[in-house]
Amino acid sequence: MSSATLKAYTTQKALKTVVENFRKPRQLFMYHPIQFEINGTFPTTKTALFSKNVNGTTYWMANMTNVYERDRQILTHDGKFREEDFLAVFDEFCKQNGLFAGSNTPSTVAERCYTQAKKRQYNILQIEKYMKKNKIEAQVNNKSSHFFAMNESQMFKYRHYEDGSLPDGYSINVPESVDDVSQILGSSVAPNAKLVEEKLRRFPSLCVRKGDELAGFISSETHGALAHLHVFDSHRGKNLGEKLEIGAAKMAIENGIRPCKFIDTTNEFFLEKAKKSKMMDVVESNGTPLVFDQNVYSPASNYGAYQ
């Protein structure tokens, strides 16, 4: 059995009624954007949430629109995930938000079960199955990550953590957007000056400097995860990255954000480093680290048949 139509939560009042549902570590990347929408943290983004209960499982789908970057869709669920039920709800969600219509291709963040079908030997992607059924052709750029988040005891530790020691001549402070954004953009995979400046201004972000020289930085994504930790080559080997991450985590906690981060599944060095640091726990299901896929869909040459 399923509810008749998608239920929409498009106002701050409506979002407040469900936001606490997403405090579980595996759903923090849904919790934070909803909380940002309620608090008006990032005014250039509008987050609308939709849900539907099918056979006892509630599927939650958020659509984040932003004037500075392409729309992002966040997918999660409560209950037992079933492929056919998800695809039916996803179809409604796409039609409600105009996804796969014209050139409006999605950019999804979700657990692996949303993108990888059970019959993995066939390498069939859930959303690609949906695309094939609707005769949609699009290219997919996939990034698979493990997700790390602080537990309550870790948050208590780092909320009160004091380590003011830095190598001689170095200091850590918030970015000065006008002066720093060009250097940070130079290290960005997808540079967008205004978006970077807005994220530096509104989310936990820090810079480390040696005198007036920018030595490294850390910022956050619009779904709340710490990201883009970078120390320039000439300043490495001084433990500056760890100090940036701890400082940004403290800022996040002070602003009601549970510190979390994605690490690429192929980045064995940083995965092992994150596990050994015990600063955050890897998010697991039944003792196995969950894999989260961030998929960006781009139009193919004959794209747009599905309206």
CATH architecture assigned to 151-257: 3-Layer(aba) Sandwich (3.40)
> What is residue 205's predicted lDDT score, i.e. its pLDDT?
96
pTM confidence score? 0.90
- Give the pLDDT confidence of 218-272 residue by residue, as tens digits: 999 999 999 999 999 999 999 999 999 999 999 999 999 999 999 999 999 999 9
| Residue 3 pLDDT | 59
- Band (306; pLDDT cuts 50, 70, 90): very low
Residue with tokens 């409006």, as numbered in its chain: 104
Distance in angstroms (rounded) separating the CA atoms of residues 33 and 221: 10
Poorest-confidence range of 177-181, 221-225, 258-262, 298-302?
A: 298-302
Tell me phi and psi for residue 103, to 5 degrees: -110, 15
| CA distance readout (Å), 169 to 41, 166, 179, 212, 307 | 34, 8, 19, 10, 59
Cβ 221 vs Cβ 29: under 8 Å = no
pLDDT band at 70 (very low <50, low <70, confident <90, very high): confident
How much is the mean pLDDT over the chain?
89
Confidence of residue 1 (pLDDT cuts 50, 70, 90): low
Q: Please answer whether residues 18 and 30 qualify as being in contact, where contact means their C-beta atoms are separated by less than 8 angstroms.
A: no
CA distance 259 to 63: 22
Average the pLDDT over each of 142-146, 189-193, 200-204, 224-228 and give the range with the smallest value: 189-193
Residue 59 has pLDDT above 90, yes or no: yes
